[in-house]
Amino acid sequence: MSDPTILSGSSLNTWNECPKEWEYIYLQRLERVPSLKMAIGTAAHYAVEVAMKFRLEYGTYPDLPYWYGAFDGAWDEETEGVEPRNDKPEESAQAHYDSGRRCIEFYATEVAPTIVPFAVEMPIRFTINGYTWTGTADLLEAIDGDPTRIRLRDHKFTSKRPDSKSRYRWPMIGYAIGLRQQLGLVEEDVQLDYIIRNKKPIHFPVANGGPISDQDILDLAQEVENAMTAIKRGSFPPLGRDTGACNWCPFWAVCDDYKGNRKKE
C-alpha cells in the first residue's frame, strides 16, 4: 500500500487491533519480520489460488502433486532466512512445513471438490466516505455452478478455531461492495473457510447466512471515518496489550510500550 490514506480490510483490522502497529507498517514502513506461521498461511493461500485458477481454465482440479508443488515453491520463498521462534519441536520449520502440507492435502481432497470457482483473486477498488478502499477477494464461488449466484469465500489456515466472527468482517464487507460495483452482482452469502491445523485438519466454515446488509456497509463507512479522523490527527495509541495483538506483532523491539517486555514463549 503506497498511500497510507488508502485503506483495506487488512489495514483496518491492524488499526483496530493496534494503531501503533498500523503506524509502524503503513507510515514508518518498517520491515515486518517473517515467521513460520505466516509462511504456512502465505504458501497455503498460494497453493489454493493456483489450483483454483487451474480449475477455471481446465474445468477440473489438478492432481495433489500440483498442489504440493505450488505450496513447496511458496514455502521455500517465504521461509528463506526465517528462524524458529524457539527450540520446541513443534516450533521447528519441519513441523510447520508438515502442518501446511497436511492442510493442503485436506483442502484439495475434502474442500475444493465442493467448490465451483467463478473468479479467483479478484482485485477491488472503490470509494467510501470519500476515501479509497482496495483489496483482493480470494474466491468467488458459483453456487451449484450458476454464475449468477455468488458466494464470497475467504480461506484462513489457523492453529485454532476463531473466537470471534468479527475479525474479518471489514474485509468481507469490502469484497461484497467491490463485487456489486464492479460486476453488478449481489452475493448470496459470504463465508470464511477456516482450515484448522490439527494433526488431522478440520474445516470450520463461518457463513454470514445471507448477503451483506445495508447496515454492514454503513458500519464500515463509519469505521473508515473513525480511523481516518484519528490518522489525520496523528493519534496512534498502542492497544496491543488489550487486544492481544502484542502476541504476534513483529515490532516488539521498537515499540516504546512493549520494549524489553516480549512475552515468553
The CATH number of the domain holding residue 221 is 3.90.320
Write out the three cell numbers for 144. 451449484
pLDDT at 67: 98
Half-sphere exposure of residue 137: CA atoms within 13 angstroms, side-chain side: 29
- Tell me the C-alpha distance between 155 and 41, whole Å: 9
Domain that holds residue 58: 34-114
Does residue 69 lie in a domain region? yes
Looking at the predicted structure, is the pLDDT value of residue 265 above 90? no
pLDDT digits (tens, 9 = 90+) for 10-31: 999 999 999 999 999 999 999 8
Q: End of a domain among 79, 114, 149?
A: 114
240 alpha carbon, distance to own chain's centre: 19
81-127 residue pLDDT tens: 887 866 677 779 999 999 999 999 999 999 999 999 999 999 999 99
Reference 171, options 60, 59, 10; nearest CA is 10
Same domain, 198 and 246: yes
Task: Check whether residue 160 and residue 84 sit in a common domain.
Answer: no
| Amino acid of residue 137 | A
Other Cβ atoms closer than 10 A to 146 = 11
24, 134: one domain: yes
C-alpha cell at 31: 520491515
Give the Cα separation of 117 and 232 in Å (integer). 40
- Which tens digit of pLDDT belongs to each residue from 119-170? 999 999 999 999 999 999 999 999 999 999 999 999 999 988 887 767 789 9
Assess if residue 235 is contained within a domain. no
99 and 128 fall within a common domain: no
pLDDT the model gives residue 34: 77
Is residue 207 located within the same domain as residue 127?
Answer: yes
Co-location of 139 and 221 in the same domain: yes
Predicted confidence band at 4 (pLDDT cuts at 50, 70, 90)? Answer: low
- Using the predicted structure, report yes or no on whether residue 172 has a pLDDT greater than 50: yes
56 and 20, same structural domain? no
Task: Give the residue among 94, 116, 112, 87 at the shortest CA–CA distance from 36.
Answer: 94
* pLDDT grade for 33, boundaries at 50, 70 and 90: confident
Handedness of CA 39, 41, 42, 48 (dihedral sign): positive
Q: What is the model's pLDDT at position 83?
A: 79
The reported pLDDT for the residue numbered 263 is 45
Q: Which of 171, 193, 181, 43 is nearest to 117 (CA)?
A: 193
Residues 16 and 54 in one domain: no
Closest CA to 154 of 177, 137, 176: 137
Q: Return all residues near 200 (Cβ < 8 A) that are at least 6 apart.
A: 102
Domain tally, the chain:
2
Same-domain pairing of 214 and 109? no
Mean pLDDT score of the chain, rounded to an integer? 91
- Do 130 and 206 fall within a single domain? yes
Residues 64 and 11 in one domain: no
The answer to whether residue 216 sits within a structural domain is yes
Among the candidates 77, 95, 114, a domain finishes at 114
| Out of 157-171, 189-203, 218-232, least confident range | 157-171
- Helix intervals (H) in the chain: 9-17, 19-22, 36-58, 64-79, 93-106, 169-183, 214-233, 240-243
Q: Is 50 exceeded by the pLDDT of residue 264?
A: no
Question: Which residue type, as a one-letter code, is found at position 69?
Answer: G
Angle of helix 64-79 relative to helix 93-106, nearest 10 degrees, comes to 150
Cβ atoms of residues 86 and 142 within 8 Å: no
Cα–Cα distance between 139 and 105 in angstroms, integer? Answer: 19
